[in-house]
């Protein structure tokens, strides 16, 4: 059990180092076609139409999992991330989700719950 816990802690630390200081730094596009570099989209699609819901969700999943700090700032959009988060959080790994939600309170489940 200890090795599983430490592996998770290492993954969370890796994702935490990649985070922007504030969500407002995320200035990526909200619409149109975006091409991800190969270091992020190394398997499968590299071009995504953000106006198509499934492609947009795939784009965000890949960016969150593979993007470095500069990638996240360049490719993710603050408003779009917040609007997608209630569903997106169920499609990403627990380590990514917990890292983002513990750092940015506006992404915590209570903040994104629909009233």
User: CA-to-CA distance for 23 and 99, rounded, in angstroms?
Assistant: 13
- The structure's pTM equals 0.86
pLDDT tens profile 55-101: 999 999 999 999 999 999 999 999 999 999 999 999 999 999 999 99
Q: Which residue has tokens 């091409």?
A: 35
Q: Concatenated DSSP letters for 7-26? A: HHHHHHHHHHHH--SSGGG-
Rg (CA), the chain: 14
Report strand pairing: 33-35 vs 47-49: antiparallel
């Amino acid at each position: 059990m200890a090795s599983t816990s430490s592996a998770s802690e290492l993954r969370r630390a890796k994702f935490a180092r990649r985070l922007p200081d504030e969500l407002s730094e995320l200035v990526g596009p909200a619409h149109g076609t975006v091409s991800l570099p190969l270091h992020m989209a190394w398997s499968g699609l590299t071009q995504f139409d953000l106006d198509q819901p499934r492609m947009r969700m795939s784009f965000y999943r890949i960016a969150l999992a593979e993007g470095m700090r500069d990638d996240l700032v360049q490719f993710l959009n603050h408003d779009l991330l917040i609007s997608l988060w209630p569903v997106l959080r169920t499609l990403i790994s627990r380590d990514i989700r917990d890292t983002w939600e513990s750092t940015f309170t506006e992404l915590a489940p209570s903040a994104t719950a629909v009233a």
